[in-house]
Copies of this chain bind each other. A is one copy, B any other.
Amino acid sequence: MYDDGVNHRPEMTLAERKRRLVSDELTESALQLLALRGFDAVTIDEIVATAGVSRRTFFRYFASKEDVVVRFLADMGAGMRADLAERPVGEPPSVALLHAVRVPLATCAAHSERALRVVQLILRTPALLGRFLERQAQWRDDLARELAHRLGLGHESALYPRLAAGTALAAFDATLQRWSDADGAEDPVALLDRAFAVIAPALDSPEGR
């Protein structure tokens, strides 16, 4: 989770704060350049020159050029499974999933100045979109596993959990897309609620056993 570099938690050791500093500097430089000139037109050498570290160090913090951008969004979804696990057991899947998916979106809305630019960059850059969806596939698997566990289904590859998780993320994506298209003029959480109003009957369908 990006934290703007100003949040010096005293419980962090010096080494941890140094790492965070470098990571933030790299992220800042990268987003600046990439948003300005587009993903393909910027080389890693330029990013590290701006950040003032070596190229080798870049790859100690990020797995790839795409990773700098995608991490920003992807980290938001990391806790989805935990959020879903914390929902009360009696809650219907549509409500539990909505709350799980709502968290990262609310985080986006809270940091909209920066998050919006990142989302727009990702959505209009095929290479970034691919990496993002690759990450999202992991969220989907996590959600599906947790959902299967909640419903007491054997955790083998049943159809319903994957389908429900995929549907919830389709709502997430549609929301993100619309938020991006509207340049942030609409409230993403409200959009998500509307999307879930549509898909809820599917998520709670008795067909899903």
What residue of chain B has the Cβ atom nearest to residue A157's Cβ?
B181
A127 to B178, CA, bound (A): 27
Q: A21 in the interface, Cβ–Cβ < 8 Å?
A: no
Which residues of B lie under 8 Å from residue A134 when comparing CB positions? 126-127, 129-130, 133
Q: A195 in the interface, Cβ–Cβ < 8 Å?
A: yes
A169 to B140, CA, bound (A): 13
Min CB distance, A151 to chain B, in Å?
A: 14
Q: A38 in the interface, Cβ–Cβ < 8 Å?
A: no
Q: A163-B174, A167-B167, A191-B159 are known contacts. Are A208 and B202 too (CB-CB below 8 A)?
A: no
Contact across chains for A198 and B163 when beta carbons are under 8 A apart? yes
A207 to B177, CA, bound (A): 19
Min CB distance, A67 to chain B, in Å?
A: 12
| Chain A residues in the interface with B (C-beta under 8 A) | 126-127, 129-131, 133-134, 136-137, 157, 159-160, 162-163, 166-167, 169-171, 173-175, 177-178, 181-182, 191, 194-195, 197-202, 205, 207-208
Interface contacts beyond A133-B134, A159-B174, A166-B171: sample of 17 additional A-B pairs, CB < 8 Å, sorted by A: A126-B134, A127-B134, A130-B133, A159-B175, A159-B178, A162-B177, A163-B171, A163-B174, A163-B195, A166-B170, A167-B167, A167-B171, A167-B202, A169-B170, A194-B207, A199-B202, A199-B205
- Complex A-B, nearest 9 residue pairs according to Cβ-Cβ distance, in ascending order: A166-B170, A130-B134, A133-B133, A202-B202, A130-B130, A201-B201, A162-B174, A157-B181, A163-B174
Q: Can you list 27 A-B pairs, Cβ within 8 angstroms, ordered by A?
A: A126-B134, A127-B134, A129-B134, A129-B137, A130-B133, A133-B134, A157-B178, A157-B182, A159-B175, A159-B194, A159-B195, A160-B198, A162-B174, A163-B198, A166-B171, A167-B167, A167-B170, A167-B171, A167-B202, A169-B170, A170-B170, A194-B207, A198-B202, A198-B205, A198-B208, A199-B199, A201-B202
